[in-house]
């Protein structure tokens, strides 16, 4: 079986992971190349390529008592006819991935009660040549798949000064050790600790990361990757030293017209790029733009963003209504390639050039 060798990692890091997930993840598995931590199922299809490819991850599973517990899950691609590449991305490919719970009871590991193992290494070696029958399918674990470029190890990320915090967790200044051996300054966005973490929160976090994964533009904040192997989970982003644009505008009341126009142009260039990538930001505002020390605007915060050119706004939960176009609110639609796109940019323009909200609020209005 390929890729069974353990991934090099410090003893201290391994001890922390084993302590945090002692009831769920075996220390040997934590160090295995094919262990991907809290990776959600939506991202599995980007890693598996051939029949029998598999990864191991930690996931929240509903029990018979409607309770939730974390389990170790083996996700394996079932594609004996080689049709995976012909399938449309998304749910079509997800249907070809089987998810099998890896049980650990009475000091034994197993998929099926009739075949148990004392050591996980023996289990994976056995099922590399023997099939386990799950839901009328014979599953063989042929090739363990390692981390993608965007999957980072916690030991390569250090965190320091607190930059901000919110309902999701917090953002800290840090450094990332790249594969080249060079360290770069980063902003590290974290989810809250284990007692508050849930499958839904991880899915929401990874949806944001998935949208940002391939974005490369001078007016859009870059994402280096995610760290999912242990808790807390990280989204590692480009560090922009100047901070949020709205803070800059509040501190600098007399920004000249040329600088304000350049701010607006750079925000528009960033939005134009996102729309070419079929991404709707849905929350564009000065507070969600960063302003670097060399006076470059960068679009950030993709927590409410969606893939596509049209998005129906069934609910306005989380959206800043000051920046939602009135016609979109009436029709319940957000659209990238239409007159609404220009209106969205003009609202950003009004906020940056006039340094005021696009729609004045009445007293007591939220």
- Catalytic, 43? Answer no
- The 10 Å Cβ neighbour count of residue 299 is 26
Which of 283, 294, 311, 322 is flagged as catalytic? Answer: 283
d(CA 112, CA 104) in angstroms, rounded, equals: 11
d(CA 317, CA 71) in angstroms, rounded, equals: 31
Helix (H) or strand (E) holding 224: strand 223-227
Q: Does 189 show up as a binding residue in the annotation? A: yes
Closest CA to 75 of 56, 89, 91: 56
Phi, psi of 228 (to 5 degrees): -120, 0
Helix (H) or strand (E) holding 297: strand 297-299
- The 10 Å Cβ neighbour count of residue 308 is 12
Separation in Å, CA 13 to CA 119, 131, 205, 229, 238: 21, 34, 23, 11, 24
d(CA 270, CA 217) in angstroms, rounded, equals: 7
d(CA 337, CA 355) in angstroms, rounded, equals: 27
Instruction: Give the catalytic positions in this structure.
Output: 283
Which residues are documented as binding site for ATP?
189
């Amino acid at each position: 079986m390929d890729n069974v060798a353990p991934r090099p990692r410090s003893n201290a890091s391994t001890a922390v992971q084993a302590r945090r997930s002692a009831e769920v993840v075996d220390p040997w598995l934590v160090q295995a190349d094919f262990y991907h931590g809290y990776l959600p199922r939506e991202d599995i299809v980007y890693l598996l390529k051939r029949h029998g490819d598999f990864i191991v991850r930690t996931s929240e599973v509903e029990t018979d008592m409607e309770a939730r517990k974390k389990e170790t899950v083996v996700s394996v691609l079932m594609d004996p006819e080689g049709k995976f590449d012909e399938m449309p991305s998304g749910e079509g490919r997800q249907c070809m991935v089987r998810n099998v719970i890896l049980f650990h009871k009475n000091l034994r590991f197993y998929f099926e009660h009739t075949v148990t193992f004392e050591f996980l290494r023996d289990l994976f070696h056995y099922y590399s040549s023997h099939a386990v029958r799950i839901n009328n399918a014979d599953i063989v674990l042929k090739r363990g798949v390692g981390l993608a470029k965007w999957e980072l190890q916690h030991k390569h990320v250090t965190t320091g000064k607190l930059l901000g915090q919110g309902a999701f967790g917090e953002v800290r200044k840090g450094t990332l050790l790249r594969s080249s051996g060079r360290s770069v300054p980063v902003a590290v966005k974290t989810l809250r600790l284990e007692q508050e973490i849930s499958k839904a929160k991880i899915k929401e976090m990874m949806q944001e990361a998935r949208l940002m994964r391939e974005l490369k533009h001078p007016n859009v904040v870059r994402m280096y990757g995610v760290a999912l192997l242990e808790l807390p989970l990280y989204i590692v982003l480009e560090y922009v030293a100047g901070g949020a644009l709205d803070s800059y505008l509040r501190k600098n009341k007399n920004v000249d017209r040329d600088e304000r126009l350049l701010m607006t142009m750079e925000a528009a260039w960033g939005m134009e790029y996102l729309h070419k990538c079929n991404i709707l930001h849905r929350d564009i505002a000065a507070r969600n733009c960063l302003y670097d020390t060399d006076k470059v605007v960068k679009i950030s915060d993709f927590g409410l963003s969606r893939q596509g050119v049209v998005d129906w706004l069934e609910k306005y939960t989380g959206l800043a209504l000051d920046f939602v176009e009135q016609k979109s609110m009436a029709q319940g639609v957000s659209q990238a390639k239409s007159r609404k796109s220009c209106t969205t940019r003009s609202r950003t323009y009004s906020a940056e050039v006039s340094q005021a909200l696009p729609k004045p609020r009445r007293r007591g209005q939220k």
